């Protein structure tokens, strides 16, 4: 399977614990995005990487959240001191370079990591 | 700033019938792209169709077509010949199109489509 993969798919944790999610994008895609989706809502942008550089962060990304993409390939999203309000689906997406043929800006999403904070 | 509005929380359609899912948008950008994604219960967002703001013709992809009315700022999705497998959440999204921008999409709240026998 050459799509975007995310791990773990489900995570249940107690309030105050730290959690980390991993995303492996499509190999030739240099752009990687994290989105958060709460129940009944559409995905909301969290952050964006081009290669290893984190170029944009949403105000939704509090200081308890940190994302990395150290080698420009996979990415991790860590949430420290989790709160019940962090319960959501965390979606990772990737996209090819702007110069890629027929690039409409379509994002290719993984199946998401569902976080439940008790 | 961009805003997407989907006013239909849920829709029902009979198998083999056509259905229209509404989407209106607001943006100050002159050049933008509009997208529709499908999200089945598995959670993955599946790209369906794209329309550029300067495209003169409405986009079509198989059973999907996008009814783009720029003056009304609407980008409705039409699904023809509905199938049971079309039951899912459908999200309208948009992004600005200008050099150097990330493909940061702004999504609506979605419409849940249920296809019945």
Output the six-digit token pair for A109: 């999403």
Range with the lowest mean pLDDT among A64-78, A87-101, B10-24, B85-99? Answer: A87-101
- Put simply, whether B54 touches A (Cβ < 8 Å) is no
Give chain B's length.
117
Nearest CA in chain A to B49: A106
- Put simply, whether B42 touches A (Cβ < 8 Å) is yes
Nearest CA in chain A to B6: A42
Cis peptide before A8 (omega within 30 of 0): yes
Averaged pLDDT for residues A107-118: 95
**pLDDT at residue A106, as a whole number:** 84
φ/ψ of residue A84, rounded to 5? -60, -30
Tens digits of per-residue pLDDT, A31-51? 999 999 999 899 999 999 999
Tens digits of per-residue pLDDT, B2-25? 899 999 999 999 999 999 999 999
Find tokens 């962060």 and name the residue: A57
Which of B33, B48, B50, B103 has the highest number of chain A CBs within 10 A, making it the mutation to test binding with A?
A: B103
Nearest CA to B76 among B65, B86, B87?
A: B65
User: Across the interface, which of A50, A91, A104 has its CB nearest the CB of B45?
Assistant: A91
Torsion (CA) A46, A52, A56, A59 in degrees, nearest 10? 40
Task: Name every chain A residue with its beta carbon within 8 A of the beta carbon of B46.
Answer: 109
Give chain A's length.
118
| Cα three-residue angle A35-B48-A27, rounded to 5 degrees | 55
**pLDDT at residue A2, as a whole number:** 76
- Put simply, whether B106 touches A (Cβ < 8 Å) is yes
Distance, in Å, from the CA atom of B39 to the CA atom of B5, rounded to the nearest integer, reads 17
- Three-class secondary structure of residue B54 per DSSP: coil
| Positions of chain B with pLDDT lower than 50, given as ranges | none
User: Across the interface, which of A42, A89, A106 has its CB nearest the CB of B91?
Assistant: A42
pLDDT grade, residue A60 (50/70/90)? confident
């Amino acid at each position: 399977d050459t799509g975007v993969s995310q791990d773990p798919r489900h995570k249940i944790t107690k309030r105050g614990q730290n959690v980390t999610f991993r995303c492996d994008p499509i190999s030739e895609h240099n752009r990687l995005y994290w989105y958060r989706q709460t129940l009944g809502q559409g995905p909301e942008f969290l952050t964006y990487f081009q290669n290893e550089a984190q170029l944009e962060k949403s105000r939704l990304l509090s200081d308890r959240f940190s994302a990395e993409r150290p080698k420009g390939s996979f990415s991790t999203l860590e949430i420290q001191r989790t709160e019940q309000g962090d319960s959501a689906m965390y979606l990772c997406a990737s996209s090819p370079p702007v110069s890629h043929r027929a690039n409409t800006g379509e994002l290719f999403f993984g199946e998401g990591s569902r976080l439940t904070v008790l | 700033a961009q805003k997407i509005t989907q006013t239909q929380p849920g829709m029902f359609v009979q198998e083999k019938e056509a259905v229209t899912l509404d989407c209106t948008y607001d943006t100050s950008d002159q050049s933008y792209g509009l997208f529709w994604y499908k999200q089945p219960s598995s959670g993955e967002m599946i790209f369906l169709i794209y329309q550029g703001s300067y495209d003169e013709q409405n986009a079509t992809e198989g059973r999907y077509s996008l009814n783009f009315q720029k003056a009304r700022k609407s980008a409705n999705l039409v699904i023809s010949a509905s199938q049971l497998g079309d039951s899912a959440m459908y999200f309208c999204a948009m992004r600005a199109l200008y050099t150097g921008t990330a493909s940061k999409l702004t999504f609506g709240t979605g419409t849940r489509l249920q296809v019945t026998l």
